[in-house]
Amino acid sequence: MSGFSVFEYSYCDAGNFKSWGRLLVEGIVKPEDLSALSDGLESGEFFIAEQVGIPTLYEGLWKLSNGPTADDHVWHRFHDLRPATESEIGDVLHGNLDDLLNRFRNVNAWKLESSCHAFLD
């Protein structure tokens, strides 16, 4: 087992166009980390990337639509937190697991205004 974990997430607009992302973090994920993370998510799966310092995935869709559209919204979806594979260990490192989990734990309420999409019509 490596000393790294991968946080997998996505963004799906109202038109069902999707963009996928993953973050490599230093630290070994434990079963209780998954439940603690899920407990802090909206409906157990959604979060506002900007509020927890995670790179947004909007830009992948903006390239196809020439910018934000009425289908855009503030929510990203959490998919998994798992041990990194050997090939993923070469990815860009995005800090450590404890810091990532603490950013989620410190959210008392999801603030829509944290997202650039909060004010789209």
**Helix and strand numbers, DSSP H then E, in the chain:** 3, 5
Q: How confident is the model at residue 1 (pLDDT cuts 50, 70, 90)?
A: low
Question: Which residues does 33 contact at the CB level (< 8 Å), separation at least 6?
Answer: 81, 97, 101
95 falls within a domain: yes
Task: Tell me the pLDDT tens digit for each residue of 22-80.
Answer: 999 999 999 999 998 999 999 999 999 999 999 999 887 777 776 777 777 899 999 99
- Position 119 in a domain: no
Q: Count CB atoms within 10 A of the CB of residue 39.
A: 10
Question: Higher-confidence residue: 18 or 65?
Answer: 18
In a domain, 43, yes or no: yes
Average pLDDT, the chain: 90
Residue 115's pLDDT band, with cuts at 50, 70 and 90, is confident
Q: What's the structural domain count of the chain?
A: 1
Whole-number Å distance between alpha carbons of 39 and 28: 19
Residues spanned by the domain of 66 = 4-114
Residue 77 in any domain: the answer is yes
Residue 94 lies inside a defined structural domain of this protein? yes
d(CA 68, CA 118) in angstroms, rounded, equals 11
Residue 51: inside a domain: yes
